[in-house]
């Protein structure tokens, strides 16, 4: 089966413009995400799905340097862009990686794929604490079958469901076979948040990374230990 990771990203974020180009220890946020994702062993391809706007050419340049595949599509309808990318690269399973998670962990990506691969589910996740999974926010990903993504693409109607790829699933959980991946004990800190949505999030992650000398290959469990140390836990 072709397992394709798709990372949707653009520079024109409303809440925090150009956030994916912000530097953390001399590397851009998108650099962190791509580099760490590339360490996952169970992925067939990694695709960066961005817009056709000229301002996003820089993201294409970064992706090419990382030898990552590229798709350029609709800016506003992110779901369409995502579906079109999955269709173009003939994905059987799609792993959705968030472009604002600098500490996305390749081991957690591989664990997600492994757990999902042998089960009869349409969607699974280990990126957040939902359905009592107890994961810290920012280490994992989401995975769904191409047929599930197609169903979402055809059924989603609202603006928010088209802006957020898996929102239709969460709005209609009874319509999908969902597998919540339970967090291992050493990552079960649901109050910890490592994604970047705002300038404040960025400053906190930037300072935290610098303070504890976190590197591209630092594992999630080590990052948790650093966080516990920072808060005196």
Q: What is the pLDDT of residue 223?
A: 98
Tell me the C-alpha distance between 152 and 135, whole Å.
25
Q: In whole angstroms, give the CA distance from residue 132 to residue 183.
A: 9
Stretch 4-17: mean pLDDT: 92
Contacts (Cβ under 8 Å, ≥6 apart) of 23? 29, 206
* DSSP β-bridge partners for residue 95: 5, 143
What is the average pLDDT across 26-49?
98
Confidence class of residue 13 from pLDDT cuts 50, 70 and 90?
A: confident
Rounded Cα distance between 17 and 53, Å, is 14
Give me the CATH number covering residue 54: 3.90.550.10
Note the Cα 77 to chain centre separation in Å: 18
Q: Which domain holds residue 191?
A: 3-231
What mean pLDDT is predicted for residues 193-213? 97
Could you give the CA distance from residue 83 to residue 153 in angstroms, rounded to a whole number?
A: 7
pLDDT tens by residue, 108-140: 999 999 999 877 899 999 999 999 999 999 999
Whose tokens are 């050419």? That residue is 57
Residue 10, pLDDT > 60, answer yes
Structural domain count, the chain: 1
Per-residue confidence (pLDDT) for residue 53, from 0 to 100: 95
pLDDT in tens, 103-115: 999 999 999 999 9
pLDDT at 233 over 70: no
pLDDT of amino acid 118: 74
Q: How far apart are CA 139 and CA 219, in angstroms?
A: 9
Return the structure tokens found at 183: 């967090």
What's the mean pLDDT in 71-90?
96
Rounded-to-integer distance, Cα 136 and Cα 192, Å: 5
């Amino acid at each position: 089966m072709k397992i394709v990771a798709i990372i949707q990203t653009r520079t024109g974020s409303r809440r925090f413009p150009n956030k994916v180009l912000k530097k953390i220890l001399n590397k851009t946020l998108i650099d962190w995400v791509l580099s760490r994702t590339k360490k996952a062993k169970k992925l067939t391809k990694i695709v960066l799905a961005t817009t056709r706007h000229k301002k996003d050419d820089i993201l294409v340049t970064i992706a090419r340097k990382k030898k990552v595949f590229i798709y350029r599509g609709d800016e506003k309808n992110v779901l369409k862009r995502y579906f079109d990318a999955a269709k173009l690269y003939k994905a059987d399973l799609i792993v959705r990686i968030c472009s604002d998670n600098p500490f996305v962990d390749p081991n957690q990506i591989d664990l997600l794929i492994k757990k999902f691969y042998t089960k009869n589910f349409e969607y699974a996740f280990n990126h957040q604490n939902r359905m009592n999974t107890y994961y810290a926010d920012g280490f994992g990903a989401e995975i769904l079958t191409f047929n599930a993504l197609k169903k979402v693409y055809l059924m989603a109607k609202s603006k928010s469901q088209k802006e957020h790829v898996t929102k239709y699933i969460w709005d209609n959980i009874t319509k999908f076979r969902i597998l919540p991946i339970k967090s291992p004990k050493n990552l079960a800190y649901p109050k910890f948040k490592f994604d970047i949505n705002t300038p404040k999030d960025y400053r906190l992650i930037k300072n935290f990374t610098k303070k504890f000398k976190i590197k591209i290959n630092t594992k999630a469990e080590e990052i948790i230990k650093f966080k516990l140390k920072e808060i005196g836990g």
